[in-house]
Amino acid sequence: MLIASLVVLAGVVVGPELLAAVDSVILRVREAGPVVFFGAMAVLPAVGFPMIAFTLAAGPVFGPTLGTGWVIACAVAAVVINLLLTYWLADRAVRPLVGRLLTCFDVRLPDRVAVGAWQLTLIVRLAPGLPFWVQSYSLGLMHVPLLAYMIVSTVVMTGYVAALVCGGEAVASGNGRLAFIAIGTLVVSIVLLRLLRRRTLRLRSFAPLAPLSVESSS
């Protein structure tokens, strides 16, 4: 199945040792109950822990007791908290350090992305291959306005979270109907978001955004 294939692919990419460590952490926090689990889901991805490990585990563990809908709601709430935390860390801690480092090379970070911020956020969120936490810190370093960052990121992640929570629960319980819903949600989300990303890129080609990367200081 699709979700199982994603797990296998993740194991190949990150390596068995790292995957085992991730499994160990997930096992410990889910045994501590939903409060600890979703609290960890809100915090740990800010330091590079894979968000997908939480979304795949949440459904099978807490779906039977909380219900799939509540699990999805709690997972989305954890994502929202993580988005706020990562944005704050990028702005208050990482950005000053990166700014001072770049000063040594006579370049600077853009002060703020005002024009095209919504498009930029969407493009980064849908960029293939970028981990969730890298996307979040990148947008924070570029000083994308908080409103655009939160709304676009939450909308994009909600579809993925719902699909993976349902998919993880379906694989664990052997529920074919739930698996079908999960795969359908994931496919529709990916197709719609990719189409939206292509349209955004076309619009950007006609109306270039404000500087998005580091600029040479004058």
Q: CA–CA separation, 116 vs 124, rounded Å?
A: 12
* Cβ neighbours for 172, distance < 8 A, ≥ 6 positions apart: 59, 60
Per-residue model confidence (pLDDT) at position 211: 43
Per-residue model confidence (pLDDT) at position 215: 43
Per-residue model confidence (pLDDT) at position 216: 40
Question: From the CB of residue 64, how many other CB atoms can be counted at a distance below 10 Å?
Answer: 13
Cα Dmax for the chain: 62
Residue 108, helix vs strand vs coil: strand
Mean pLDDT (whole number) for 98-107 = 72
Give me 113's structure tokens.
């992305």
Better-predicted residue by pLDDT, 60 or 104: 60
Per-residue model confidence (pLDDT) at position 11: 45
Per-residue model confidence (pLDDT) at position 81: 97
> Sorting pLDDT into bands at 50, 70 and 90, what band is 99?
confident
Per-residue model confidence (pLDDT) at position 143: 86
Percent of the chain with pLDDT over 70: 61
Mean predicted lDDT score pLDDT of the chain? 74
> Sorting pLDDT into bands at 50, 70 and 90, what band is 44?
very high
Q: CA–CA separation, 124 vs 132, rounded Å?
A: 10
Mean pLDDT (whole number) for 189-200 = 58
Per-residue model confidence (pLDDT) at position 200: 58
Mean pLDDT (whole number) for 149-163 = 90
The size of the chain, in residues, is 218
What pLDDT, in 10s, does the model give residues 160-174?
888 888 776 665 555
Cα–Cα distances in angstroms (integers) from residue 180 to residues 4, 65, 71, 156, 186, in the given order? 14, 21, 18, 20, 10
pLDDT at 102 over 80: no
pLDDT at 144 over 80: yes
Better-predicted residue by pLDDT, 91 or 200: 91
Per-residue model confidence (pLDDT) at position 9: 41
Mean pLDDT (whole number) for 187-193 = 56
What pLDDT, in 10s, does the model give residues 6-39?
344 444 444 555 556 666 777 778 788 899 999 9
Buried b (16+ CB within 10 A) or exposed e, 82-100: bbbebbebbeeeebeeeee
